[in-house]
Structure 1
Amino acid sequence: MGIFTYYVLPVASLAAFLATQSVSLAGAATTGRLYAQAGRPTVVVNDATRIQRDVAAMQADMRVLQEDQKMLLARIMGLEQEIQNRDERVKELQNLLTATDNRFEALDREWRQRFDALNAALEQERASRSQEIQAVGKAMAAEIVRVEKSAAAAAKPSAPSAYSGKYKELVVQKGDTLSGISSLAGVSIESIREANGLKSDVIRVGQVLKIPTK
């Protein structure tokens, strides 16, 4: 039974043996008394009544021991059952711990997969945004160049028309210069020189100049 081995004391056999010894002792006492009555030397024999009491006491002690043994056996069986119940509880806890570990591993794998997917999506979004920013930057740079070219073209003065032979006369006033007259008339200085036969840009107050017309 379990991990324990139990030995039941043979109380009945021991009681029978003690009863047999009691009868033998009683017979021996009777024989001793008979020898004494016949004038023979008296044989000293233990008191049979005292021996019977001792045997009865031993039998009572054996019964007590037997009851104690039964109680001890019941206690041992209870302990074995308790140990078995604890073993079952430990197995249940081990199974629960294993299931919990497996659940944690599954959750860890799931969260890692989600994190990797999110990280990949963020990297892809970052690359897409970077390409969009680069494209916008290039478009803005091209637009700035176009605007600058347009502004430069608008600010550049138009080239004066070539001299066509037609002219109008202009009297030189104080402070006039050949370049100023050229700008106001919208003709080149060379065409004014050509129309007036000038070899330099020097002009005089009151001088009549021929100003080419378009």
Structure 2
Amino acid sequence: MRWLCGLLLAATATVSSAQVKLFDAANLGEASGMVHASVSLNDAIRLHCAKAFPAAKAHLDHAYFVWLMANEDEIVVAEKIYGELESGKRAALENGAQAAAKALLDTLQSDGRVEAACAQQIQTQRDGEQNVARRTPKASAFLKDYLAAHPRTADETARLDFVRGCRKQSLNNGQDFDELMPRCACLAEVHFTQLSEAERSDYATQTRARKPAAELMQLPYMRRVQPAMLRCLTGT
């Protein structure tokens, strides 16, 4: 778990990238655990900062989204490998990251540095300082080498594109990040399990032609899945 210490140091933004690299991954398994914990830690910091400074939530959400997209290749591979771990190990990693974030921010709060730390979290995510390849190049290389050896299928790529587009559009429309994340995942599940390949292809053609949303929703196959889509949108 030496790499979790490295993530904590990185999150405080009090050490240089060169110092953080000392805690880099030694193998693929460690790389996947490191990146998964980094996602959990960054998300926990985002939520704690948003609770402390509600007016900054939109900025925190946007910075975290920028970070997720910049590190998408490493994150997707890490989550795939992490998902194959037995549940006890997954819970230990998740709980460790959550506890680490809370301990870090509690310490900063007591020192009167939490506002500056939250502002720096936004800045370092937006400018790429926290990118996996920059902070932990060995972990990045392990995960990208795995992706090169096990390339995504066309369906996996299409799902990623769909979810990314849904998140970006929703965020740009001012929707709350914590509401849009499960909503986009749900819509992707409907899109890729309840529409046939031919229907998805036709829908893509229609959207590229910039058909109005109201017109798209009147397509026969879209009318068929509207109840499922509505459940995604309402969370029911």
Give yes or no for TM over 0.5: no
**Which of the two has greater helix per residue?**
2
Q: TM-score, normalised by structure 1?
A: 0.16
Whose relative contact order is higher, 1 or 2, with alpha carbons under 8 Å and at least 6 apart? 2
**Which of the two has greater strand per residue?**
1
Report the structure number with the largest CA radius of gyration: 1
